[in-house]
Structure 1
Amino acid sequence: MDLPLLPLFPEASRAAGLQRLDGFLPRAGTAYARDRNHDRGAAVVRGNVSMLSPFLRHRLVSEAEVIAAAVGRHGAAAGKFVEEVGWRSYWKGWLARRPGVWAAWRQGVAQDLAGLVRNPALAAAVEAAEAGRTGIDGFDHWAQELARTGYLHNHARMWFASIWIFTLNLPWRLGADLFMRRLIDADPASNTLSWRQVAGLHSRGKAYAARAANIHGFTDGRFNPAGQLNETPEPLDEAPPPPAGPVPRPYPADPRLPALLVLTEDDGRPETLFDGLEMCGAVALDLTPFRAVAGPVAEPAAAFARDALADAAARLVAAGGPAALPVGAPTAEALAATLIDDARAAGARQIVLPHPAAGHAAMVVDRLIPRLQAAGLHLATRLRRWDAATAAGASHGYFRFRKGLPPLVELALSGGAEELCLTNESRR
């Protein structure tokens, strides 16, 4: 079947995200719980799932407002939808408290790439899998769908990852990097930790098996890879992750210092982030070059990120803030130099940005801090109560986190989730 040439997400804006949320809300209750696992393909309207993930990834709409809208419409019947949105916040909080897992993944990708140089047969197998030339029914379609649309249904992502790891016997970290390069909604926490989950590394010893009957049933008969899959996989074995570290805390801003505002892909709501600051300039920071390891981010994903930043910048101006100049560089050192120059040109004495999510954003910020400090610039971050509260609950597994969902739902319904954590404690 030919895949659609038109993008599934034609506009990266808050208005488009709210419109999509409004269109999905009637189906966010029992209909979602019943139908969410069916992948009917990119050639049909996916009304059984919200398709909100790219907007949530860039926080053009927030997890809290999506949950509040669903519960406000359906009450307890929205429970399954709330749980699925909760997974996103759980993954982000879990990784924020264990940033070394992300660093280990990046290091592992580099090692795996070196292994491909030494093993041409493995390199050819990875290339065939990425291109959708394995001969496995369903898998090849999903590889091509991912390349052309930048999106896969969540169930297809799990099947794809399981087949990649256990049937094709390919390095799991390279599969996760492929998703980071091609998915429009690529999120460091959700993506990396979901691949670890499938591999049996998150819930230790419990691998996810892609089964032909399950694929046949939940693709409504489109695919049936009977006899092609390893349906009894042994989970991978790696060193366990470190215990949970402290809950993130923001670097406090100094309201007396003129501030250069930095917009990033982690929070597309700048009009609610920078109250109480003396704003003397703004930049929109493109972090997509740092997202993956094995190659550049695909253009559909990079374009969505750029457009989301532009939409955020336009709303900042509409709210009375400064116009944001686009900024990008291939290295953290080059970014630091650019930010220092921009801050000095604007007369800023501090740089304020959304608190970086665990992954490439936090990695870049950690590299920026000593250079900004050496230039006499104070760096501050703005952390929302939702992110602090969900990270606090992400100390162990998801099922313990799920028991803490009711107070999080109340926080979302109260409107307090969008508020900022203002504290004099350091982030670490």
Structure 2
Amino acid sequence: MTALPLPLPATRAAATARLDHFLPRAGQAYAARRNEDLPGHPHVSGLAPYIRHRLLTEAEAIEATLRAHPQGADKFLAELWWRTYWKGWLERRPAIWSAYRQGLTEALNRVQAEAGLRAQWEAACTGQTGIDGFDHWAQELAATGYLHNHARMWFASIWIFTLRLPWELGADFFLRHLICGDPASNTLSWRWVGGLHTPGKTYAATPDNIARNTGGRFRPTGLARDCRPLPMQPHPAPRPVPQGDILHPDDPTALLLHEDDLAGDGFPHLPPETPLLFLTTTARRSPLAVNPLVTAFVDEGVADTAIRRGQPDAPRFTEAGLDALGDQLAAQGIRQLATPYAPIGPTAAALQRLAPLLADRGIRLARLLRDHDAQSWPHATHGFFRFREAVMP
């Protein structure tokens, strides 16, 4: 397989081309070498940034994989379903996201107050710890917006257990640098490594595993052997699965797309000429500065979607412009704003703030839940393997 081209172009055409290029290797070839973190990342799909922003949907990738490999692609299909599982699990337990954000605020306050912690954190973020492999991954992530999934696990384990840094700071480092950074996948993966997701289970990075799966490039020394779980609170009781809203077909309607769903299709009651707007919340992924590569990917994805829908000049708003968004819709006589359902994260929070602003102007916000999410999220009740049995018969 050829090397992964970085940075990835943020277009629907690039997403489908990448999928077509990868599909012949989505079966046994992927299963055999997916764990190898090698230069150029030749053994992974490179689809995560597209799926995260739904320039390519999970359903499309799953259906295409099953057509190409009716049997033998379970490992790749499982990777696709993991993202859906994380989203569904967090959607039913939003307090976990709130606790992460609160923990991050407290950790950043400590960074400001404690010089020693600040120095350790800065060394970890800039790749100056002296730990073989870890420093390379920190710099690779900042420079490319990408990190191999196995390297993410090693990195998180070293951050938590060897460097003894607050896990929330590490999760934030990923979320502000990863182009495919997703609130659910990122937060819950870091919690899983630290023993906060599956009680009693942690992930320990080992020199042998790192050396074996990096072609011998890295073999760090001095890694923690004591990887006991971080102190945890019981998981909150799951809330009901969201149902989404129903469109009122006779109401003058506009469509609001956002960085959690740029596909712009899958909603048959919305004709292509429906007035289009965009909401971006990239800067809200972190209290700190978000990597320009992340912002550039979202910007390009928005522009591509606007062109594909035949509205290249569609207005774009950030969270700071929600009032202006409402005013523009009211001036156009819009009475219903349809938008793809945004799972837990900055976009969902912005939509939550937008809804009453629209209501004050006589406009209804209709959050439309995709069939893929509506059918799979109810099964995100326990661990992934129970979920997989339900969605991957």
Q: CA deviation at 1:372?
A: 1.8
Q: CA deviation at 1:385?
A: 0.7
Secondary structure of residue in 2 paired with 1:261: strand
Decide whether aligned partners of structure 1 residues 83 and 135 sit closer, same or farther in structure 2, where only a CA change above 3 A counts: same
In structure 1, distance between residues paired with 2:390 and 2:321: 39
Q: Which piece of structure 1 moves more, 272-281 or 229-238?
A: 272-281
CA shift digits 1:1-47 (9 cap, x unpaired): xxx9x971341011101111111111100111110000003xx3x23
Out of 381, 388, 392, the position equivalent to 1:402 is: 388
| Correspondence 1:334-345 to 2 at 5 A | 334-345=320-331
Secondary structure of residue in 2 paired with 1:60: coil
Out of 49, 54, 58, the position equivalent to 1:59 is: 54
**Matched-pair contact (CA < 8 Å) for 1:270–1:315:** no
CA shift digits 1:22-75 (9 cap, x unpaired): 11111100111110000003xx3x231101000000111111111121121122
**Matched-pair contact (CA < 8 Å) for 1:258–1:280:** no
Q: Which piece of structure 1 moves more, 10-19 or 265-274?
A: 265-274
- TM-score, length basis structure 1: 0.88
Query: Which amino acid in 2 is paired with 1:288?
Result: T
Decide whether aligned partners of structure 1 residues 257 and 291 sit closer, same or farther in structure 2, where only a CA change above 3 A counts: same
Query: Which amino acid in 1 is paired with 2:296?
Result: A
Query: Which amino acid in 2 is paired with 1:302?
Result: T
Q: Which residue of 1 aligns with 2:352?
A: 366
Query: Which amino acid in 2 is paired with 1:305?
Result: V
Out of 298, 311, 315, the position equivalent to 1:325 is: 315
In structure 2, distance between residues paired with 1:96 and 1:10: 29
Q: CA deviation at 1:232?
A: 2.9
In structure 2, distance between residues paired with 1:152 and 1:280: 38
In structure 1, distance between residues paired with 2:247 and 2:138: 45
Q: Which residue of 2 aligns with 1:241?
A: 235
Secondary structure of residue in 1 paired with 2:392: helix
Q: Which piece of structure 1 moves more, 252-261 or 295-304?
A: 252-261
| Correspondence 1:97-112 to 2 at 5 A | 97-112=92-107
Decide whether aligned partners of structure 1 residues 127 and 248 sit closer, same or farther in structure 2, where only a CA change above 3 A counts: same
Q: CA deviation at 1:118?
A: 1.9
Q: Does residue 222 of structure 1 match 2:217?
A: yes
Q: Which residue of 2 aligns with 1:386?
A: 372
Decide whether aligned partners of structure 1 residues 270 and 323 sit closer, same or farther in structure 2, where only a CA change above 3 A counts: farther
Q: Which residue of 1 aligns with 2:199?
A: 204
In structure 1, distance between residues paired with 2:354 and 2:268: 20
Q: CA deviation at 1:390?
A: 1.6
Q: Does residue 190 of structure 1 match 2:167?
A: no
Q: CA deviation at 1:260?
A: 2.2
Q: Which piece of structure 1 moves more, 298-307 or 129-138?
A: 298-307
Q: Which residue of 2 aligns with 1:420?
A: none
Among all aligned residue pairs of Structure 1 and Structure 2, give the percentage whose two residues are the same amino acid. 49
**Matched-pair contact (CA < 8 Å) for 2:141–2:178:** yes
**Matched-pair contact (CA < 8 Å) for 2:280–2:347:** no
**Matched-pair contact (CA < 8 Å) for 2:266–2:370:** no
In structure 1, distance between residues paired with 2:384 and 2:45: 21
Q: Does residue 348 of structure 1 match 2:339?
A: no
Query: Which amino acid in 1 is paired with 2:10?
Result: A
In structure 1, distance between residues paired with 2:383 and 2:157: 21
**Matched-pair contact (CA < 8 Å) for 2:177–2:290:** yes
| Correspondence 1:16-31 to 2 at 5 A | 16-31=14-29
In structure 2, distance between residues paired with 1:11 and 1:32: 23
**Matched-pair contact (CA < 8 Å) for 1:14–1:61:** yes
Q: Which residue of 2 aligns with 1:36?
A: 34
Q: CA deviation at 1:271?
A: 3.4
CA shift digits 1:105-131 (9 cap, x unpaired): 111111111111221100110011000
Q: Which residue of 1 aligns with 2:74?
A: 79
**Matched-pair contact (CA < 8 Å) for 1:90–1:401:** yes
Query: Which amino acid in 2 is paired with 1:285?
Result: L
Q: CA deviation at 1:296?
A: 1.9
In structure 2, distance between residues paired with 1:233 and 1:68: 39
CA shift digits 1:154-189 (9 cap, x unpaired): 000000000001000000001101111000000111
Decide whether aligned partners of structure 1 residues 154 and 224 sit closer, same or farther in structure 2, where only a CA change above 3 A counts: same
**Matched-pair contact (CA < 8 Å) for 1:263–1:353:** yes
**Matched-pair contact (CA < 8 Å) for 2:281–2:347:** yes
- TM-score, length basis structure 2: 0.95
Q: Does residue 125 of structure 1 match 2:120?
A: yes
Out of 298, 303, 310, the position equivalent to 2:291 is: 298
**Matched-pair contact (CA < 8 Å) for 1:205–1:236:** no
Q: CA deviation at 1:277?
A: 6.2
Decide whether aligned partners of structure 1 residues 276 and 182 sit closer, same or farther in structure 2, where only a CA change above 3 A counts: closer
**Matched-pair contact (CA < 8 Å) for 1:96–1:357:** yes
In structure 2, distance between residues paired with 1:233 and 1:47: 31
Report the count of equivalent residues: 391
Query: Which amino acid in 1 is paired with 2:294?
Result: A
Q: Does residue 311 of structure 1 match 2:296?
A: no
In structure 2, distance between residues paired with 1:391 and 1:106: 23
Decide whether aligned partners of structure 1 residues 401 and 305 sit closer, same or farther in structure 2, where only a CA change above 3 A counts: same
In structure 1, distance between residues paired with 2:327 and 2:113: 43
**Matched-pair contact (CA < 8 Å) for 1:282–1:322:** no
Decide whether aligned partners of structure 1 residues 13 and 88 sit closer, same or farther in structure 2, where only a CA change above 3 A counts: same
| CA RMSD, Structure 1 to Structure 2 (Å) | 1.8
**Matched-pair contact (CA < 8 Å) for 1:259–1:278:** no
In structure 1, distance between residues paired with 2:192 and 2:94: 17
Secondary structure of residue in 1 paired with 2:324: helix
Runs of 5+ unmatched residues, structure 1: 408-428
In structure 2, distance between residues paired with 1:32 and 1:232: 32
Q: Which residue of 2 aligns with 1:266?
A: 260
**Matched-pair contact (CA < 8 Å) for 1:247–1:392:** yes
**Matched-pair contact (CA < 8 Å) for 2:241–2:377:** yes
Q: Which residue of 2 aligns with 1:158?
A: 153
